[in-house]
Structure 1
Amino acid sequence: MPGTLLLDSEGLSKLYLKDRVVVTLVQAALEEGIRVATTAMTTLEADYERVHPARIRWVLSRIDVHDITKSVADQAAALLRGGHLHGHKYAIDAVLAALARAAPAPVTVLTSDPEDLTLLCGPAVVITKV
């Protein structure tokens, strides 16, 4: 089973901006058949001011963008409660963590915020700082 590579807002922003490290990781994952994904909420949070809309569309066409369902929101809320975190600050991370916990293993999350996502994702998910 190939697994899953998830991007938080920083990972997605760096992919938009053609960061060499993130582009290489994503390309290698795609070549290995690893599913590359993010959430619809993450696409809102990612830095897109300096990126041409065509680049954003192209990047998002190459990865899975998951809609946020009531079930995912409920799972994210449970993670927030379990970590004693407030949704106002951590909602988007919690949604990504809920997706990570349900994704085909092995799962790696590319993030700029390893502490919070480590808490939310648990030990089964590899957290990689970008």
Structure 2
Amino acid sequence: MPGTLVLDSEGLSRLYRKDRGATALVAAAAEEGVRVVTTVMTTLEADDERVHPARVRWVLSRIDVLDVTRALAAEAAALLRDHRLRGHKYAIDAVLAASARRAARPVTVLTSDPGDLAPLCGDGVEIAKI
């Protein structure tokens, strides 16, 4: 069962910057048939003017970028309420967590901030620090 690898902003940023570790991890996941995803909101968070737009387009063409629907936004809002969090500081993480919770198992979220994402993702999602 291949599963899903979910990239947070730092994971995506590292791909943009050609980080060898992140690139190798994503390549290995794809080779094993693991679906590599991020959210459209995460692409906004990871945007970096120092990275050439062609590089960004190339990276995004090789992973699945998930849209944020009303239903997904409602799930993210419920996660925020359940964890007594609010505001823009947590909004993108909540959308990423809601996406991870919906993804095909097993699910691993690659993140630089496991403390924020682990509670939102819950027990069914593995958190890997990048």
Structure 1's consecutive aligned runs of 4 or more residues displaced over 2 angstroms after TM superposition are none
Matched, 1:87 2:87: yes
Which residue of structure 2 lines up, in the alignment, with residue 45 of structure 1?
45
Tell me the percent identity. 72
Tell me the alpha carbon deviations over residues 87-115 of structure 1, each in whole angstroms, 9 at most, x when there is no partner.
32100000000000000000000111101
Mark the runs of 5 or more structure 2 residues left unpaired by the alignment: none
Equivalent residue, structure 1, for 2:23: 23
Superimposed CA distance per residue, residues 53-109 of structure 1 (whole angstroms, 9 cap, x where no aligned partner): 111000000000011000000000000011111132100000000000000000000
Verify the 8 A CA contact 1:111 1:129 in the aligned structure 2: yes
Three-state SS of the structure 1 residue aligned to 2:99 is helix
TM-fit CA distance, 1:42: 0.3
Q: What secondary structure is seen at the aligned counterpart in 1 of 2:11?
A: helix
Q: Which residue does 2:100 correspond to in 1?
A: 100
* CA–CA distance in structure 1, aligned partners of residues 121 and 109 of structure 2: 9
Give the total of aligned pairs: 130
* Distance in 1, Cα, partners of 2:51 & 2:85: 32
Structure 1 gap segments, 5+ residues each:
none
Task: Indicate the SS of the match to 1:104.
Answer: coil
Partner of 1:65: 65
Q: CA RMSD in A?
A: 0.7
- TM-score, L = length of structure 1: 0.97
